[in-house]
Amino acid sequence: MPMPRAVTQLNKKYVNKVLVHLTGHGWFVELEHVGRRSGRTFRVPIMAFDHGDAVTVALTYGPGVDWLANLRAAGGGRMHLRGELLTLGAPVTVPEVEGRRRVPQPPRAMLPVLGCHDFVEIPVLSREPFHAW
């Protein structure tokens, strides 16, 4: 079930501004994507799990999130992950069983409690040292 619109708007306006300070630490990353209608560059904090040639993202807000639609429309984006800047390809949906397998504990145990059943894998096209945007 998708997140209620009021919660999504609250997160966009307030929570993301706090969480962005955690990016680069642990599983928190900053994802950069370009708006498919506006052409503006957006940066959002999400949790991503690095597997070398790809990252796995649990879609805690469901598959209808703007950043995912924007990545798909653009064929990719960029991500700040622990001191690296990753250039990403287009996301691919992965089955829930496979997606959960790719997420470490303790987040794996929390996802069903949060109602998260959707996952994407995003290919990493290149990596370089991260310098602040």
Q: Domains in the chain, ordered, with CATH?
A: 5-129 (2.30.110.10)
Place of tokens 């991260």: 130
Residues 76-90: pLDDT tens digits? 999 998 889 999 999
Q: What is the pTM of this model?
A: 0.81
Residue 6 DSSP symbol: H
Decide if pLDDT at 68 tops 90: yes
Decide if pLDDT at 7 tops 70: no
Contact 90, 71 (CB under 8 A): yes
**Distance, first Cα to last Cα, the chain:** 34
- Lowest-confidence region among 9-18, 66-75, 123-132: 9-18
